Each structure stands twice: as C-alpha cells, then as structure tokens.
Chain A
Amino acid sequence: MVERILPRGMPDPDAKFTIVYKDVYSWSYFYKLLHEWLLDNKYCSEKDEDFKEILFEQVERPFGAEIWLRWRLTKSDIGPYKELFQYDLDINFHILGQKEVEVVSGGKKYKADKGELEIEAIAWVTLDPKKKIKEHWLAKHFEDFIFKVFLKKKVKQHKKQLAYEIQRLQEAVKTYLKLEAYLPERELGEYYQKRDQT
C-alpha cells in the first residue's frame, strides 16, 4: 500500500483513484506515456528540470525491485479567474517485485517488466493559490463570501472539470494496461502502444 501523504493541507481530495496491477508491463514505456499525458494536459512543462519528481527510491530485493515514486504536479492555466484557481495533482507509485522478463507478442520478442504496480492519484482544486485575496487589504475580509457565494458556481465547475481530467488520466492508465474503461473515446487509445505492444 502506498503510504498516504495528505495533499498539501487539503483534508478532502476532489478526485482520486488507485489502480493496482500485477502482470507484465513496460515500466519505462508506461513512465513516458504518463509523462506525455501530463505534458499534453499542462500539468508539467517541457523542461525536465521543472518536473516535480520529489522521490525516486529503488531497493533491490530477492523477489525483485521495490520502487517508490512521487510526483507533485500543478496546473495553473485554467480559464477565467485563473489566478484564483489551481489544480494540484499528487501521483504516487509503488512497485513490488519488479523483474525484467522477455515476452513474445505477435511473433516478436520484447523486453518487459513483471511485478505489482500500484498507482495512486489524488487531486484537488486549490483556491487562491497566489494569496491574491488573502493578502488584499479589503478582499481578505470577504474571502468566504467570494468563494462560497460570488464564485460558488466557478468553484463547482472547476471541481467537476478536475474530476473529469482525473477520470481521463485513469482511463489512460487503464487503456495502456488493457483494463476495462468507460469513456466513449479511449484516452491515448490510438497513438500509444498497449502493454502487449499492440
């Protein structure tokens, strides 16, 4: 189980999912695929040095490698009132017993990994991330009114949008791992390979 790290000061996430998968996959391809999805959806920039991978730990054990990985991502460019809203996304990976294996798919041999992969994504909408309202001499007294009354619909809309984006991320993971997905159009369905190289 991935150690729960409560999102930065937010007790209740607006969207979350966990996927546990134990079989054959390509860890390096999966890593790149998720990175591409995050880049396409503006959760990170093209510069590798800006990518917030705050933890990568790999321990070699007799039954295979154990890997922990933590990504902390932020999306700020999100439409009107963009200075007042921000999407935060934490992705935690925990892989147990990962070993290199050779698989045959379509008559060809491929190098792949076998292990138990756990992906946990937690996301929430942060209000007033730049403290524009909190630090304004007058607006700070109406912070509750602004978010609970004046911008109530916007807050709700952003939470819905974030939940949809996280569902799409979940579908992208499921599409790669060939698990049952639901969205009418498969996320990353056509362009990227699946786990069995198809």
Chain B
Amino acid sequence: MPTDITVAPAMTRFYGPFNQRALLDAIRSFLQGEGFDDVQEPSYKHKVGGEGADIEIKMETDRKLNDYVKYFMNVEIRISDMKDVEVVHNGEKRKMQHGRVQVSVSGKAQLDYQKHFEGNKFLKALHDFYHKSIIKMRVEEYYDYIHSRILRLQRVVRETLGSEVNG
C-alpha cells in the first residue's frame, strides 16, 4: 500500500491590486522549472456576483523521483471580489485586478506508488521494516524536498503579488 508523507500546507493571503495572469504564470513556471512538467487544472470556477468575480483554481501535478517515490504538489487559488482596475505605475497605466487572494500550497511524497509491497502480511511487514529502518533517513530527505519546494513556491507567490504593489 502506498505511504504518503504529507507536508502541512503553506498559505498566503493578499488584498490589493495584482496581476492574475502574472500570478498564474509564475506558479506554473515555478512548477515546470522544478520538473513538474504536467500541471493539471482539475477545477476552475469563475462566478460573477455583485462585489466582483469569485475565482477558484486548483492545480495538481506530480513527478516521479524513481520507481519507488513520487512527489505531488497541489496549489489552490481563491480570489474573491475581483475587479479589473487600472493602476498608474511610474506614470504608466496598467490593467490589473483588485481583490482578495488566497493561495494555499501543499504537497506530499508518496512511497511505493507502484504498490510493490501489496498482497500479503509478510510484504506489509517488510514494507514497514524497509521504511522505518532501511530508508528512514531518505524518507526525511523526501519530506525536506517537498517542504522546501512549498516554501519556495510560497515565496514566488508573495513576490509576484507583492511586486505589483512595490514595483
């Protein structure tokens, strides 16, 4: 049975002017740059209401490290009360959006994704022994890898959102 090593999600909240296109491109580029080539978007919601548009986008991607370990990254973007605005920056007019942005980044490493240790109690016991004794240190490395990618992506998101304000 595959074992998931889950990393706690990192959250970014922002209120103000931002560039939706730049934000989505930055997230995609970061993931692709990290070797997560196939970024899927299983859900996209866009609802226009009285206060502006509410948008919810989910992105999912995975990457094989080897025949035993697979990394998963999930990004959930929620934008509420979004309106198109024109912002003057250095004397230049820019089309941007204004609203509340919440970006949640989570991830996990999945061990034994090909289910080699499935079938009987002996294999299950071997699986536990393998994880707890033989590759224990490496399991921590897998956790660190995902954790550092989550934090890096969070920084990219903050820089992209923040740069719209700071220039």
A binding-site residues for B, Cβ under 8 Å: 15-23, 116, 163, 167, 170, 174, 177, 179-180, 182
Contact = CB atoms under 8 A, between A and B. Distances in A.
A3 B40 CA distance: 22
A59 B48 CA distance: 23
A17 B47 contact: no
A23 B46 contact: yes
Given A180-B20, A180-B21, A180-B24, A163 B47 contact: no
Contacts of A170: 41, 44
Given A163-B38, A180-B21, A18 B43 contact: yes
Q: Which residue, of B25, B42, B47, has the highest number of chain A Cβ atoms within 10 A?
A: B42
B108 interface: no
Nearest to A18: B43
B21 A163 contact: no
Contact of B46 (A16, A17, A177): A177
Contacts of B40: 15, 17, 163, 167
Contacts of B44: 17-20, 170, 174, 179
A22 B46 contact: yes
A23 B44 CA distance: 14
Q: Which 8 A-B pairs have the closest CB atoms?
A: A22-B47, A20-B45, A23-B48, A18-B43, A19-B44, A21-B46, A17-B42, A180-B24
Contacts of A116: 47
Nearest to A22: B47
28 contacts: A15-B40, A16-B42, A17-B42, A17-B43, A17-B44, A18-B42, A18-B43, A18-B44, A19-B44, A19-B46, A20-B43, A20-B44, A21-B46, A22-B47, A22-B48, A22-B49, A23-B46, A116-B47, A163-B38, A163-B40, A174-B44, A179-B44, A179-B46, A180-B20, A180-B21, A180-B24, A182-B24, A182-B25
Given A180-B20, A180-B21, A182-B28, A20 B41 contact: no
Interface of B: 20-21, 24-25, 28, 38, 40-49, 53, 56
A179 B24 CA distance: 12
Given A19-B44, A23-B46, A179-B44, 6 more contacts: A18-B45, A20-B56, A22-B48, A163-B38, A170-B41, A182-B28
Q: Which residue, of B21, B44, B47, has the highest number of chain A Cβ atoms within 10 A?
A: B44
A183 to B, nearest CB: 11
Contact of A19 (B24, B25, B45, B49): B45
Contacts of B42: 16-18
B80 to A, nearest CB: 13
A41 B20 CA distance: 31
A17 B38 contact: no
Contact of A17 (B28, B41, B53, B56): B41
